[in-house]
Amino acid sequence: MAVQVGDILEGKVTGIKPFGAFVALPDGKNGLVHISEVSYEFVQDIAAVLEEGQTVQVKVLSIAPDGKIALSIKRTQPAPERGARPAGGARPPRPPKKDAPPRVWQPKPAAPKGDLTFEDMMARYKTQSEEKIADLRRVTESHRGSYSRRRG
pLDDT digits (tens, 9 = 90+) for 10-30: 999 999 999 999 999 988 899
How far apart CA 36 and CA 73 sit, in angstroms, is 10
Query: Residues 58, 60, 64, 66: what is their CA dihedral angle, to the nearest 10 degrees?
Result: 50
pLDDT of the residue at 76: 92
Poorest-pLDDT segment among 62-76, 99-113, 127-141: 99-113
Residue count of the chain: 152
pLDDT of the residue at 110: 65
What pTM value is reported for the model?
0.53
How confident is residue 71, by pLDDT bands cut at 50, 70 and 90? very high
Highest mean pLDDT among 37-41, 99-103, 110-114: 37-41
How confident is residue 78, by pLDDT bands cut at 50, 70 and 90? confident
CB atoms within 10 A of CB 34: 15
CATH of 8-76, one of 3.40.50.620, 3.40.50.2300, 2.40.50.140, 3.40.640.10: 2.40.50.140
pLDDT of the residue at 33: 95
Looking at per-residue confidence, does 135 or 100 come out higher? 135
Per-residue pLDDT for 88 more than 80? no
